[in-house]
Amino acid sequence: MAKRRNSRGRSRRAKPLPTEPINLTILSLSHEGRGVGKCDGKTVFVDGALRDEQVTAKITFQRGKFDEACAITIENPNSDRVSPPCLHYGNCGGCSMQHLSNSAQILHKQSILEEQLAHFASTKPKEWLQPLQADLLAYRRKARLGVRYVSKKEKTLIGFREKYSNFLADIESCVVLDKRVDAILMPMSHLIDEMDTRQFIPQIEVTCGDDSVAIIVRHLQPLTEKDRGLWLSFGQQQQIIVFLQSKGPKTVTRLWPIEDKDAVLSYKLPEFDLEMLMEPLDFSQVNASINRKMIPLAIELLDLKPEDEVLDLFCGLGNFTLPLAKNVKRAVGVEGVIDMVDRATMNAKHNGLTNVEFYQADLAGDLTDQPWISYNFNKVLIDPARSGALEVIPNIVKFAPERIVYVSCNPSTLARDTGELVKSGYELIKAGVMDMFPHTSHVESIALFVKKK
């Protein structure tokens, strides 16, 4: 029997989907922002539906335990329903919650954090922090954009995937991308249309600093001289930094401007009189306006004193470490990627800071021989990847810091690690969410742990 491949890349036997729409009441919202209802006792996740709405929906996918559907009509719209600001919202999967008001979005994200803490750690903070919000549109300074030349349409698509699909959405603009990036989407599309190797450009990565924009053009075959000339002229005309990438990260080379070797990206932290230098592949916070609010909040939660010695784990290019150093006796940043350690060290020198040190270490490994392990840290900040900080917690608690601030991009691993910190003698005092990625299901959060006396 013939098989087909579903939107998540798995093969299954072909089975006709129901053609008749279904009617159901939406009982709740899933973590990714889909309405959750029941039809004949079976759970249905409905794209585009909100809590308490009566919807007519079309089944788009079926599994044994649940179905997926798309809302066709809404009879009684939820009071938090709004008109999406993006014309491509129904098709593009870059955002999933534009039909929900911003205030309701952030409350939904807080409810997810609350649920995860209860489920994995059987706890909640003594105080919920006020949700942190800032720019809601044109906030995204970093993105990996898919590229595909469609010969049947004789056009190049650039952007994010369609909802629940591996196909690229056909868009002409994006309201969440930095305006400088949005402005060059169509010019880049037209440029690729003219390339000899247009079929071999799968991705363009964009990174924005305060004063400049960089793109990395991924190519699966060597570019012709004509193609290199097109991108060179594009960089000159648009005044953006252009890099080319043939394979992995080590193959990234600058195409323009060649003559200005010091042309790098940077962003400022005005409250701390700091300028952070970075390369386009460096990890940096996507939402600059939230970042500028998040750092002072972390410092406030740590309750820094001039005599403090602070450890910043997963420090990256020093985004938190340098502001910490402005307020304490000594700050130490530790990071697993040596290139980021070098960048952080460069940023300390660039900003004239001498009370800060950076080290490379595998934070999931044995740290006993690290030169910084004998320091007397009394406060710790951690900002791990989505996998969390479970392996490093035993090393953190050895310092017996008075306060630990945990910045998280995954509420489930934060909740799991909260359980470990509670077992190790810490109390969850404060926690809250930060809207780093408005209109998406991404939940960024921050938590304060204080050692029990």
Catalytic residues: 409
SS (H, E, C) 224-267: CHHHHHHHHHHHHHHCCEEEEECCCHHHEEEEECCCCCCCCEEE
The phi and psi torsions of 343 (rounded to 5 degrees) equal: -65, -40
183's CB contacts (< 8 A; 6+ apart) are none
Question: Which H helix or E strand runs over 3?
Answer: strand 3-5
Angle, vertex CA 160, rays to CA 154 and CA 162, nearest 5? 85
User: For residue 295, what are the CA distances in angstroms to 31, 324, 333, 448?
Assistant: 26, 9, 15, 14
Separation CA 35–CA 47 (nearest Å): 6
Contact 408, 384 (CB under 8 A): yes
For the purposes of burial, counting CB atoms within 10 Å of the CB of 278, is it exposed (0-12), middle (13-18) or buried (19 or more)? Answer: buried
Binning the chain into helix, strand and coil, the percentages to the nearest 5 are 25, 30, 45
The 3-state DSSP class for residue 77 equals: coil
Q: How far apart are CA 422 and CA 319, in angstroms?
A: 27
Phi-psi category of 33—alpha, beta or left, where left has phi over 0 and alpha has psi -120 to 50?
Answer: left
Beta bridge partners of 193: none
CB atoms within 10 A of CB 307: 9
Q: Other C-beta atoms within 10 Å of 117: how many?
A: 24
